[in-house]
Structure 1
Amino acid sequence: MMTLEEAQHQVDCWIKKYGVRYFSELTNMAVLTEEVGELARVMSRKYGDQSFKEGEKDNIEDEIADVLWVLLCIANQTGVNVTEAFARNLEKKTQRDNTRHINNPKLQDHGEE
């Protein structure tokens, strides 16, 4: 298993060894949008109403990894420690939403009527 910190470091090492340099932050934001779109296409075909076109495949794992890769690139470029940021974000959500979703009638099991 790899931690987020290790993944962030692996991306940085790969970029420095094989990638020449990071794309600009704005280019990586555009690449992230592209990768999220590719994930959305697979999701809409696998879980939505669309079907796979000839030649398309269910590569959801690869598309999720592509999104994570670019996010880690952006984190590296902007000096964000993803492990620390995620821990802070989880704590924020826990404090803010600790009863919100539990008390949301829209999330209750609809089969109990």
Structure 2
Amino acid sequence: MTLEEAQKEVDRWIKTYGVRYFSELTNMAVLTEEVGELARIMARKYGDQSFKEGEKCNLADEMADVLWVLLCLANQTGVDLTEAFHRNLEKKTNRDKDRHKNNPKL
């Protein structure tokens, strides 16, 4: 599935099952919440924290939650994520094409 297809699929789902999009500000808060849930799993799985009894470790689902809300925000604000990603990749390539290769820390 492409980013464009994902944006369209989220829009169809919202219009079919979700009644309407939450406001942009609410979705920004939800995105922050979802990133926090992803961070919690990362800290427990790859960091120094341990899982609490009964706590789930579903990294893929948490990443998908983050993507879902990001797709919602893109739809709401008229952002074409495919185009934005291509521009961002070009920006990073132009800026960093030699930077990491020349970093003695890496």
The alignment's TM-score, normalised by the length of structure 1, stands at 0.92
The alignment status of 1:96 with 2:95, answered yes or no, reads: yes
Q: Distance in 2 between matches of 1:11 and 1:65?
A: 12
Partner of 1:44: 43
The alignment status of 1:81 with 2:80, answered yes or no, reads: yes
Pairwise CA RMSD of aligned residues? 0.5
Q: Alignment partner of 1:42: what SS?
A: helix
Deviations 1:5-32 (A, max 9, x none): 1011000000000001000000000000
Q: CA deviation at 1:106?
A: 1.2
The alignment's TM-score, normalised by the length of structure 2, stands at 0.98
Structure 2 stretches of 5 or more lacking a match? none
Q: Tell me the percent identity.
A: 83
The alignment status of 1:18 with 2:26, answered yes or no, reads: no
Q: CA deviation at 1:58?
A: 1.1
Q: Distance in 2 between matches of 1:53 and 1:104?
A: 39
Larger Rg, first or second structure (1 or 2):
1
Q: Distance in 2 between matches of 1:19 and 1:94?
A: 38
Structure 1 stretches of 5 or more lacking a match? 108-113
Which amino acid is the alignment partner of residue 14 of structure 1?
W
Q: CA deviation at 1:57?
A: 1.6
Q: Alignment partner of 1:13: what SS?
A: helix
Which amino acid is the alignment partner of residue 34 of structure 2?
E
| Regions of 4+ moved over 3 Å | none
